[in-house]
Amino acid sequence: MINVGQQLLEAALWGAVAAVGWPIGVLAIECAAGCLLPGFGRSGSVHGLRRPRTAVLIPAHNEATCIGATLQALQPQLVEGDRLLVVADNCSDETAEVARAAGAEVVQRFNTEQRGKGYALDYGVRVLADHPPEVLTIVDADCTLEPGSLDRLARLCADRDRPIQGRYLMELPPAPSAARRVSGFAFAVKNFARSEGLRRLGLPCLLNGTGMAFPWEAISQLPLASDNIVEDMQMGIDLTVAGYPPLFCPDAPVTGRLPQGEGAATSQRTRWEHGHLQTLFYRVPPLLGRAILTGNWRLLTVALDLTVPPLSFLVMVWVGATIAMTGLGALMGLWRPAIGMGCLGIVLLGAILIAWARVGRSFLSARMLLTIPLYVLQKVPIYLGFVKRRQTEWVRTERD
């Protein structure tokens, strides 16, 4: 009976190894393909492709301090026939006035019961429906679409008839702390290294919320009006189901800015990570089942990508599982699962180092890589909050 019990326990431990190894394996494959295969960061010339009639939609809630710079960067990229529309959503500041002064078309929306980016996007799409563009590009009010990015996104979107996600990275604040540097690096791993890996493998990517171009026929049919705190993930899922899986474009950069204040940074991280975990636990299992039953390999790719949790959460799960299995190994003599978990740690570390060598040097020095465990520990309250008091409502990140 003891042997049977030990065998059952060992089988359960190997199941845990497989559960942790799945997202680590997906992460490692994406980072290796993105950072080691030739052609990194180059999607090819678009000059021979037709430039479609494009609208740029900017949802904005109390963004008077930063929307002027966003519009200033966009204006030179517009051509005749393009539209630049700002949805001033439930604003109590001068967002609408600043946007009009910068030359944008502005509509104002007031509905305190329906708050969130999804509702603002839906409102803007319905305004544009009177004279619809061929391609709709969405840019957040606090982001800079770098020169040439709009043209590249629009041309690729029209040529492929699929949503295109630009390279969305975060700019560090002045005199950034180690935590901000690690956060910027983790952002680059998710939005650049992993997305580039999917592109190099010929697979669709997730959407990142800004710097996105859509065929009008695709975006106009989406159910955008919601308070989902990670509406970009939901949009990527819905588009893939509808037959429009997004593609990554590494040479169409869009830049956001990490907040300097600790409270704003924590609020932003909480919204992102609670939304990601909620999507992982509640949306991924049915997506995997649907993809397998229908043989939809593109939907399967999106579902597998979503199984990778935030990087710090994945590290935390691996550390906890490794400690538990090492303890059981010492007590019960079941060392093989613990060794397997240790091997997964080597794979995880290797993926992080590969990504750092390619996309992380501007955020972290080699010495500062040692601060990652401290950053992970700082995020424990965020993950405990997911269990005790999960964030389900959209909250605007305070600007510096």
* 3-state SS track over 302-316: HHHHHCCCCHHHHHH
User: What is the average pLDDT across 356-365?
Assistant: 94
Of the candidates 313, 282, 299, 283, the residue with the CA atom closest to the CA atom of residue 378:
313
Q: Are strands 54-60 and 144-145 parallel, antiparallel or unpaired?
A: unpaired
> Does 391 have pLDDT greater than 80?
no
CA distance 242 to 299: 10
- Look at residue 397 and tell me whether its pLDDT is greater than 70: no
Per-residue pLDDT at 392 = 61
Q: What is the pLDDT of residues 21-30, one digit of tens each?
A: 999 999 999 9
Of the candidates 143, 139, 103, the residue with the CA atom closest to the CA atom of residue 120: 139
Q: Judge whether 258 and 172 are in contact, CB under 8 Å.
A: yes
Residue pLDDT, tens place only, 124-178: 999 999 999 999 999 999 999 999 999 999 999 999 999 999 999 999 988 888 8
Q: Which two tokens stand for residue 5?
A: 């019990």
Band of residue 188 on the pLDDT scale cut at 50, 70, 90: very high
Provide the residue ranges of all domains of the chain, joining segments of one domain with +.
2-39+287-388, 54-184+204-282
For residues 349 and 329, is the Cβ–Cβ distance under 8 A?
no
Taking the CB of residue 371, how many other CB atoms lie within 10 A of it?
A: 16
Digit-coded pLDDT (tens) for 250-282: 999 999 998 776 666 677 777 778 888 888 888
* Three-state secondary structure call for residue 86: strand
pLDDT of residue 247: 97
Q: What does residue 109 show for φ and ψ, rounded to 5 degrees?
A: -125, 130
Q: Which two tokens stand for residue 105?
A: 């078309």
Q: What is the pLDDT of residue 1?
A: 44
Residue 206 CA to residue 283 CA, distance in Å, equals 14
Q: Which amino acid is it at 384?
A: L
pLDDT at res. 395: 59
pLDDT score, position 7: 84
Give the CA angle between residues 19, 23, 26 to the nearest 5°.
Answer: 135
**H helix runs in the chain, sequence order:** 2-36, 67-74, 95-101, 117-128, 149-160, 178-188, 195-200, 216-219, 231-241, 262-282, 284-294, 297-306, 311-332, 335-355, 372-378, 380-388
Query: Who contacts 65 (Cβ-Cβ below 8 Å, separation ≥6)?
Result: 399
Predicted confidence (pLDDT) per residue in 211-239, tens digit: 999 999 999 999 998 877 788 899 999 99
Which CATH architecture describes the domain 54-184+204-282? Alpha-Beta Complex (3.90)
Tell me, yes or no, if the pTM score tops 0.85: yes
* d(C-alpha 288, C-alpha 19), whole Å: 15
Burial classification of residue 251, based on how many CB atoms lie within 10 Å of its CB (0-12 exposed, 13-18 middle, 19 or more buried): middle
pLDDT at 5: 75
Task: Summarize pLDDT for 37-72 with one digit per residue, the tens.
Answer: 998 988 888 888 999 999 999 999 999 999 999 999
Beta bridge partners of 106: 86
Residues 6+ apart with CB under 8 A from 146: 73, 252, 253, 254, 255
Please report the pLDDT score of residue 377 as a whole number. 85
Mean pLDDT, residues 113-133 taken together? 94
Average predicted confidence (pLDDT) for the chain: 91
What's the rounded Cα separation, in Å, for the pair 350 and 343? 11
